[in-house]
Chain A
Amino acid sequence: MKNQSNTPLSEHTQQTTMDAASIAHSVLFARAALDFGAENLSHDVSERLRVARMHALASSTQKTKHTAQLSASNFNFGSWFHHLSAWLRGGIAAGTVAIAFLFTFGATQSDLDVLPNQASVAATADTHNVMATLPEVQTTRALASNGVANVQNKIKHTTTSSTHVMADTEAPTSTVASANPDDEQVDIILREKIPLQAYLNDDFNQYANHQVMHTDGSDTEYNNQSHSQ
């Protein structure tokens, strides 16, 4: 068996072990010397050292707390977003834009495609919605024309009985609340049975108003007579 203690590697290992051992011995010696010195310090000096150590510890703790508070207060959307990777930020931005895109075009298409289904379902409910949303001034008119016609249209579409179908209720009626002035304008245009030019004719407007007032007056007179009898 060959003695390996004489190889260069073995010598190097042995040298390193000796160095480590000598360093450890030196450290132990230095610590012992310091401990001995500390024990021989006066009470005044050791007390000062203790107080200084306490101050250092206290200031270190305060700094740590302050840093934690600062980092907590800076945790807003900007810093949070800023700490994300570039790819993640890009993905979030693209997702937001895509959602906005879908929402916009989805709403536009729903106006065109979904409304027929909604119209039959919501016809009755719309009558109440219109009543709830329109100003009080318009409520009377809506009751007289739009609301009644909506209900009658609903009856026409959902029943087969001819007794409930009224021929004069086939005017195009609003299936949407007329809170929007443009919707109301379209509603007025589509509901009208006579040429719009008629309303530019002053003679016709005077005639119509006169006829309505005359009819109201007759009714009032008739009612008065009924009450007196």
Chain B
Amino acid sequence: MKQKNMVYATLLIGALMLSPSVFAQSWESLSTDSQSTLRPLRLSWPNLSDTQKQSWLKRVPELKAMPADQLATAQERMAEWTALSGQQRAQVEERLRNSKQPDPLARAKLWKSFTGQ
């Protein structure tokens, strides 16, 4: 009986140890490509949740395939996002979700006209 319980405990501990939360990826463990693509997130990386990290890592191939100017724009957004406080992030996200203009390009035109560029 004791042996059986020990086997069950071993299996349970093994499963827990292998769960993604325990093996959360540190910045140093990322590939060079991922680090260079997600460079603006470096400082805030430890504060991101595991699902957020996975979400960003999923986008690495997509970002790598982008032209340099678009990648620069995306990295600017990343840097901006990391610089925002939690409240500001929530505000930005809410306004983006509820925007009456869902097209980012149309919003860019509105921004140009607003700033007089």
Contact = CB atoms under 8 A, between A and B. Distances in A.
B101 A172 contact: no
A108 B100 contact: no
B110 A207 contact: yes
Decide if the interface of chain A is mainly helix, strand, loop or mixed: helix
B39 to A, nearest CB: 14
Looking at chain B, what size class is its interface with the partner chain?
35 or more
Contacts of A207: 110, 114
Decide if the interface of chain B is mainly helix, strand, loop or mixed: helix
A191 interface: yes
A81 interface: yes
Interface of B: 1, 3-4, 7, 10-11, 14-15, 18-20, 23, 25, 31, 34, 49, 51-52, 54-67, 70, 73-74, 76-78, 80-81, 84, 88, 91-93, 95-97, 99-105, 107-108, 110-111, 113-114
Interface of A: 78, 81-82, 86, 89, 93, 96-97, 100-101, 104-105, 108, 111-112, 115-116, 119, 140-141, 144-145, 168, 170-173, 175-176, 180, 182-183, 185-186, 188-200, 203-205, 207-209, 211-213
